[in-house]
Amino acid sequence: MASPFLDFVRERMVFQRYAKRTIETYLYWIKFFILFHKKQHPADLGNADVERFLSFLANDRHVAVKTQATALNALVFLYRHILRRPLTIQLDFNKARTPQKLPVVLTRLEVQQLLFGIDPRYKLLAQLLYGSGLRLMEAVRLRVKDIDFDYLSVMVWQGKGNKNRRVTLAPELIPALHAQIKKVDEYFQADLLNPDYAGVWLPFALARKFPAAPKSLAWQYLFPSYQLSRDPESNLIRRHHLDETTLRRAIKSAAYLAKIQKNVTCHTLRHSFATNLLEAGVDIRTVQEQLGHSDVKTTQIYTHVLQRGGNAVKSPLSLLLQS
């Protein structure tokens, strides 16, 4: 049975232009919070109840730090924007603690082997992940207009944290990108002949502001789905972007075929992009801007991967064997 309260929370988040995935995640944690407190209304609960819930996640569910932080963000939103009763700044709860993991990074040879063995249908996407340091969803959500051939760059709109940025584009990808846009145009021309086709989905009020945009080539997804589908929210027939799980599987398969003995994911290519830039002497601030990190401390984790300190410190075993 649908909850009128959760439906109201959803409407408020849509009105405030939260991303669809953020809405679903926040609703999950708000519902979990309500069920944890035996279906009491959040208006009847307060700081102590939030602290108890967050401690439960750490002590009993053993959730990761980021998971607990997401749950906290959901409840902060609930009390600040829905109930208009912000939580105390300093909450007293047991924080989940997990050691910081160093990112998995591929060598240039491993990247080369991975790209050589990947399914050709997903090679360009994988090349953009590595060549431009894109996140998985940033890559699959690219539109035709986001590729700037004149300035050799890619425009990323509403990335993580709802931030926009411009990242580098490898000139070697220009022929493949032109071929991909030609393929998009072929899909697009066929879609226009379909009387039920409503055009590509546009975020927020852009469809009202630019009524012709949904049926213009520039706004089509650069990596479209192979078939039309019905938009669950509007019930209109559209062509969405490629399902990101297919790229995940393609990269896993390519890593297996290349016999790379590392846990390779789509994000591994982004980690490798950052590390390889630092290896090439690019300053850390530039890498920070390319990755879209708010704090340079987040980018500094890649300096640990470089092992510059390790090269300067000789192992005592080496000294022993060389003597």
**Residue 86 DSSP class:** P
Confidence (pLDDT) at 176: 97
Query: Angle at Cα 274 formed by Cα 289 and Cα 160, nearest 5°?
Result: 50
Confidence (pLDDT) at 320: 63
Tens digits of residue pLDDT in 71-84: 999 999 999 999 99
- Cα–Cα nearest to 191, from 140, 138, 228, 219: 228
Instruction: Give 309's pLDDT tier (boundaries 50, 70, 90).
Output: very low
Active-site residue 130, yes or no? no
Percentage of the chain exceeding pLDDT 90: 65
d(CA 154, CA 274): 16
Catalytic, out of 160, 240, 252, 304: 160
Active-site residue 302, yes or no? yes
Is 27 a residue whose pLDDT tops 70? yes
Catalytic, out of 10, 165, 267, 304: 267
Instruction: Give 245's pLDDT tier (boundaries 50, 70, 90).
Output: very high
Tens digits of residue pLDDT in 249-296: 999 999 999 999 999 999 999 999 999 999 888 999 999 999 999 888
Confidence (pLDDT) at 121: 96
Confidence (pLDDT) at 91: 66
Least confident of 69-83, 223-237, 282-296, 297-311: 297-311
Active-site residue 267, yes or no? yes
Percentage of the chain exceeding pLDDT 70: 90
Mean pLDDT of the chain: 89
Instruction: Give 210's pLDDT tier (boundaries 50, 70, 90).
Output: confident
User: Averaged over 189-203, what is the pLDDT?
Assistant: 93
**Alpha carbon 183 to chain centroid, angstroms:** 25
CA 163 vs CA 51, 132, 294: distances in Å? 30, 16, 9
Catalytic, out of 141, 143, 270, 271: 270
User: Averaged over 239-247, what is the pLDDT?
Assistant: 95
Active-site residue 151, yes or no? no
The model's pTM is 0.79
d(CA 300, CA 288): 9
Sign of the Cα pseudo-torsion (65, 71, 77, 79, in order): negative
Confidence (pLDDT) at 58: 87
Q: Residue 225 carries which side chain, given as an amino acid letter?
A: S
